[in-house]
Each structure stands twice: as structure tokens, then as C-alpha cells.
């Protein structure tokens, strides 16, 4: 976000190279992990669970009110890495009269996405009092007390956490009452 600030007041703190470099590095470190979660979330919510790269970039900008802007030079290597790790798969399809590489999440990728989004949600909830923000987690999910994996209550038969194997049957039943 700081990188996109072009006009500065003459006494602005980020006019200092030292401060600006520190803030840019901090934002970059935070965005690195968040980008992966947001990419997976956007793909999972896309029509038919698939989307091509350019549409993914535009959807991320739109959904985050342009707070998370991923450059093409960052997105495509990240998509390739997720694909090589078995989290995403791709295929060439005609979209809007053009041949495009379309990405979707694998079954393994869905499980990893549920875990990292659950971990991130619980972490954000835990640190929210320190930052004077409110975080409200969606009640459609329970979070494994062992590993923070996000588990959808609307899916039948979830008796064990997919990620760590903890028996969550009792936790699930208490929550559904």
C-alpha cells in the first residue's frame, strides 16, 4: 500500500527513506502469506471453482478494495508454485473467446486452504484485542482446538479433523445444539 503513495507532504514520516523502506518491507512480508490465502479463497469462490490469472488479479483488487494488489510478476510464479505443490491444478480452456490457463483447487488444496484460513482466522481473532479491531468468525465453521483447521458445520460426517485427525465429534455436536 505504501508503495502506491506518490504524493507526500513535506513533513510526512514516509518521506524519509529509512521509514519508507521499513514500512514497505513490513507490508511485503505480511502480503506474502496473505496473498496465498486470498488467491485460494478467490479461486474457491469463483464460478465453477475455476478462474484464469488476469480475472484472479482483478477479482482480488475488487474484493479487497485495492488493498491487496498482486503484480503479475508475483502472481504467476505463486500460481506455478501452488500447482507444483499439488494445491492447484490448471488446464487450458477457451474463456471469453480466448484460450486461457484456468486454475482450480485440488482436493488436497481444499484441505490445506481450510487449515491455513482457519489458522489465519484464529490468529487474527487472538491478536485483535492488541490492535483494537474486532474480528467475528463465521459461525458456519468450527475450528479444531488442536490445529485451528476450519471445519464446515454444514458438511455431514465431519467426525475427525482432516488436518490433524483429532476427534471433533463431541465438539461438533455441542456446537450444533
Q: Give per-10-residue mean pLDDT for the chain (177 aa).
A: 62 83 88 92 93 94 89 92 97 89 96 95 96 92 92 84 89 72
- Per-residue confidence (pLDDT) for residue 6, from 0 to 100: 61
- Per-residue confidence (pLDDT) for residue 7, from 0 to 100: 64
Domain ranges of the chain: 2-105
Angle subtended at Cα 21 by Cα 126 and Cα 32, rounded to the nearest 5 degrees: 45
Helix axes 17-45, 72-84, angle to 10 degrees: 50
- Per-residue confidence (pLDDT) for residue 23, from 0 to 100: 87
- Per-residue confidence (pLDDT) for residue 5, from 0 to 100: 61
Identify the bridge partners of residue 52 per DSSP, sorted by sequence position: 102
2-105: what fold?
A: Arc Repressor Mutant, subunit A (1.10.10)
> Which alpha helices (DSSP H) does 46-166 contain, by range?
53-63, 72-84, 107-131
- Per-residue confidence (pLDDT) for residue 52, from 0 to 100: 94
Of 137, 121, 95, 128, the C-alpha closest to 34 is: 121
Amino acid at each position: 500500500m505504501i508503495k502506491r503513495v506518490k504524493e507526500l507532504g513535506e513533513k510526512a514520516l514516509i518521506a524519509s527513506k529509512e521509514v519508507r523502506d521499513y514500512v514497505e518491507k513490513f507490508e511485503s512480508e505480511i502480503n506474502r502469506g496473505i496473498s496465498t490465502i486470498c488467491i485460494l479463497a478467490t479461486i474457491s469462490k469463483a464460478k465453477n471453482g475455476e478462474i484464469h490469472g488476469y480475472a484472479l488479479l482483478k477479482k482480488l483488487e475488487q474484493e479487497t478494495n485495492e488493498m491487496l494488489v498482486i503484480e503479475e510478476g508475483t502472481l504467476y510464479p505463486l500460481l506455478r508454485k501452488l500447482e507444483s505443490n499439488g494445491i492447484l491444478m490448471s488446464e487450458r480452456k477457451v474463456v471469453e473467446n480466448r484460450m486461457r490457463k484456468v486454475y482450480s483447487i485440488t482436493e488436497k488444496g481444499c484441505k490445506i486452504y481450510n487449515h491455513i484460513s482457519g489458522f489465519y482466522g484464529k490468529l487474527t481473532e487472538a491478536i485483535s484485542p492488541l490492535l483494537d479491531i474486532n474480528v467475528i468468525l463465521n459461525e458456519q465453521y468450527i475450528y479444531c482446538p488442536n490445529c485451528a483447521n476450519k471445519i464446515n458445520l454444514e458438511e455431514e460426517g465431519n467426525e475427525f479433523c482432516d488436518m490433524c485427525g483429532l476427534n471433533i465429534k463431541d465438539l461438533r455436536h455441542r456446537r450444533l445444539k
